[in-house]
Amino acid sequence: MTEMVYGALPAHEREPVLPKWWQTLDKWTMTSILLLFVIGIMLGMAASPPLAAKNGFEPFHYVKKQAIFGGAALVAMMLTSMMSPKLVRRLSVLGFGVTMVALVMLPFFGTDFGKGAMRWYSLGFASLQPSEFLKPGFVVVCAWMMAANEEINGPPGRMWSFLLMVTIVLILALQPDFGQACLILFGWSVMYFVSGAPMMLIGGILLALVPAAQLAYSSSEHFARRIDGFLDRSLDPTTQIGYATNAIREGGLFGVGVGEGTVKWSLPDAHTDFIISVAAEEYGLILVLVIIALYATVVLRSYFRLMRERDPFIRLAGTGLVSIFGVQAMVNMGVAVRLLPSKGMTLPFVSYGGSSLIAGGIAVGMILAFTRSRPQGEIGDILRGHVR
């Protein structure tokens, strides 16, 4: 009887996962990420041999490790990008809980590796930085809360996300890790703004940052030293910033030549935080502009696709992830040219670092999963329907 009224539906074979994934994927973003990783390996071959020689390893020891970590990151990115938004949300909540516990336990079991900030767990063969893995989970959890806030009789998700953000920022500030704390605050603020927060509240949060920065300056010698170095008009050429800015200046338009750069012998973080200075010195402004263009492609393509998304959770989560990704790249390069105080942030997919690479792979995989084309249509379809 049911078939007579509604008609029988023929049984269709399910479309294979890989072809469906490839057809719905943003290929421009995927290609940009792969190119950034290749550039990172290329720059690692130039920047890491001095450090390897200093530590008694073979010249390309760190390049091989970066290739291994990068391979794991790309696998994580591919697998995550194939997931449905619902599965991404579920796994993110679980991952966020685990990394939150790891973050809280850092003062008891973590190490600072002599850098003055308790940020890592030493695993012997590698190190683990929980805050890198916390960021994507935090964004997804807050997006879920904010999206639930928009439902009829929904929970006060915005307030919950605000309290969660404040808690994490305080924990990070106590490490101290003001760079990651600022990224968490920025990502949450962007999502809060997109979700429809009043401008007065956003302005109030920005004003509250002024006394918070003053407190951090007066209570943290680590923070005060970096701010003083940034504000000092006289640039000491023997500091990391001094070496980096001089290398960028010497590189000019086309660079001094592959392998001819000298900054990698002076900078202890040439393969991580200041990798862009190696690129500028040996390959010149041309390669730097290519790197900037690749990051801009990822950010702008993702934003444009998210603007058409109907699901508020997907729109908020994707926007938060893309914003943190883009700002982290901007801050890293801004520090190298002394536009910003030193933050200790890596350049996503280019700098050496296991935690940064794998966590970045997971985050970009989430972005790709959220920006895939979906059969439910776009938000513009709703607007056109109302016009009709």
Q: What is the pLDDT of residues 229-243, one digit of tens each?
A: 667 766 666 677 788
Max CA separation in the chain (angstroms): 87
Provide CB contacts within 8 A for 241, sequence distance 6+: 229, 235, 335, 336, 338, 342
Provide CB contacts within 8 A for 32, sequence distance 6+: 294, 295, 297, 298, 301
| pLDDT digit string, tens, across residues 310-333 | 899 999 999 999 999 999 999 999
Token representation of residue 202: 């956003």
DSSP per-residue letters across 158-226: HHHHHHHHHHHHHHHHTTT-HHHHHHHHHHHHHHHHHTT--HHHHHHHHHHHHHHHHHHHHH-HHHHHH
CB 282 within 8 A of CB 251: yes
Mean pLDDT along residues 340-348 = 83
**Position 332 in a domain:** yes
**Position 388 in a domain:** no
> Is the pLDDT assigned to residue 44 strictly greater than 60?
yes
**Position 174 in a domain:** yes
Determine which of 85-99, 209-223, 292-306, 329-343 has the lowest per-residue pLDDT on average.
209-223
Mean pLDDT along residues 145-154 = 89
Residue 226: give the domain boundaries.
24-372
Give me the pLDDT at residue 5, please: 44
From the centroid of its chain, how far is CA 325?
3
**Position 328 in a domain:** yes
| H or E element in which residue 28 lies | helix 27-47
**Position 154 in a domain:** yes
Q: What letter would DSSP give residue 120?
A: B
Helix axes 354-370, 312-336, angle to 10 degrees: 140
pTM: 0.88
Give me the pLDDT at residue 200, please: 77
> Is the pLDDT assigned to residue 7 strictly greater than 50?
no
**Position 300 in a domain:** yes
**Position 293 in a domain:** yes
Give me the pLDDT at residue 325, please: 97
For residue 79, the tally of other CB atoms under 10 A from its CB is 13
> Is the pLDDT assigned to residue 189 strictly greater than 60?
yes
> Is the pLDDT assigned to residue 177 strictly greater than 70?
yes
**Position 163 in a domain:** yes
Exposed/middle/buried for residue 36 (C-beta within 10 Å: 0-12, 13-18, 19+): buried
The per-residue b/e assignment along 131-151, b for 16 or more CB within 10 angstroms, e otherwise, is bbbbbbbbbbbbbbbbbbbee
pLDDT-derived band at 15 (thresholds 50, 70, 90) equals: low
End-to-end CA distance of the chain: give it in Å, rounded. 35
Tally of structural domains, the chain: 1
> Is the pLDDT assigned to residue 2 strictly greater than 60?
no
Mean pLDDT along residues 67-88 = 95
pLDDT-derived band at 11 (thresholds 50, 70, 90) equals: very low
Mean pLDDT along residues 204-220 = 78
Give me the pLDDT at residue 377, please: 53
Average pLDDT, the chain: 85
| pLDDT digit string, tens, across residues 246-299 | 888 888 888 888 878 888 888 777 788 889 999 999 999 999 999 999 999 999
